[in-house]
Structure 1
Amino acid sequence: MYVLLLVTFTALLDSSCIRVVVSQVQQCSTFMSDDSTCPQSWHYWGISCYKITETAFTWADAKEECRNLGGVLAALSSNQENEFVAHLVSDDWMWIDCNDLEVEGRWKCRDGNMEVAYTNWYSGEPNNAGVGEDCAVVATWGNQQWHDVSCSRKEKAICKMAGRPVLHV
């Protein structure tokens, strides 16, 4: 007898789905999002936990602060994730892990060690209009799009860590 276990994690707003296939029978249970699966003051969405820092940092210090909190500076990978984090607070801008520090004009966004292809630049951005606009922020107002700014600015940061979904059958 062969048993096939197929796990599908669909990052929806508040749920994921597991499908267990045993001899042509499918059963689907949903993960219930519950902030208790994240550390206190972190917010659960999809399969991750998010925290907006209370203090403003330079971009490099924001990356370090997220590591100190047990996560990484977030690199957003979809319109839905971008919208979710932008609605967590009402500050003007928040750091994300996107920059062109290595090669001017070649923007890299990383979620931990994984490179992310998604971008959400405001019209005309990135424009390097100021001196050394090499780091990205997401605007939390309007259409939540990104801007390139100087890495030495002080802004709050979006930190991210893997969540631990709770299975309710």
Structure 2
Amino acid sequence: MSIAALFMMLVIAQTSQGFSWVRGNRVCPRGWNLYGRHCYLFSKEKVNLKDAISKCADAVGSGRLAEVGGYREEKWLELQIKLRGMHDGVWMGASDILKENKFLKLSNARKIKYTNWNKGEPNNASKKEHCVEWVGNGKWNDNSCGKKNFFVCEHV
């Protein structure tokens, strides 16, 4: 299955399901961390983007890769990531696989509003970088979707 097809399947799955029990009670599943109205699960293994998407979906029935919505959320995530020793790359829920340099959320194919790109990024090096990763300096980078990274799942 192509990355583009996987992207579209994920968008369809995400838009058809809700998690009212999390929104209403603000309770996270065991092992997840609450921030605001979202729950987060931090991986202990490195996988490619496709496997990260699958693992997040399997974790709670249809979780997703974390999608950073703003500065405060990103700083909280950055602290959690650093505390867990996930310093060398963490997948985020955004990609420009459908159209170069038009980064969309993986959950609903909407344009990402908040960004924090590393200097000179995104650059699509070797014409193969379509997936967004958080790197150790707290900035974002576009990288090959086949790279193995840690990941953060989000349950809305």
Mapping 1:62-81, distance limit 5 Å: 62-70=52-60, 71-81=63-73
Aligned pairs, how many? Answer: 125
Larger Rg: 1
Counting strand residues as a fraction of each chain, which structure ranks higher? 1
CA distance in 2, matches of 1:52, 1:145: 18
1:94 paired residue number:
90
**Cα root mean square deviation, aligned:** 1.8
Aligned partners of 1:94 and 1:157 also within 8 Å = yes
Tell me how far 1:131 sits from its aligned partner.
Answer: 4.5
The TM-score normalised by the length of structure 2 is 0.73
- Once superposed, which parts of structure 1, at least 4 consecutive aligned residues long, lie more than 3 Å away? none
Tell me how far 1:69 sits from its aligned partner.
Answer: 0.6
Counting helix residues as a fraction of each chain, which structure ranks higher? 2
The secondary structure found in structure 2 opposite 1:157 is: strand
Of the three residues 147, 150, 154, the one matched with 2:144 is 150
The TM-score normalised by the length of structure 1 is 0.68
CA distance in 1, matches of 2:109, 2:31: 25
Tell me how far 1:109 sits from its aligned partner.
Answer: 2.4
Unpaired runs of 5+ residues, structure 2, are 1-24
Tell me how far 1:61 sits from its aligned partner.
Answer: 1.1
Tell me how far 1:53 sits from its aligned partner.
Answer: 1.3
Greater relative contact order: 1 or 2 (C-alpha under 8 angstroms, separation 6 or more)? Answer: 2
Of the three residues 108, 127, 132, the one matched with 2:123 is 127
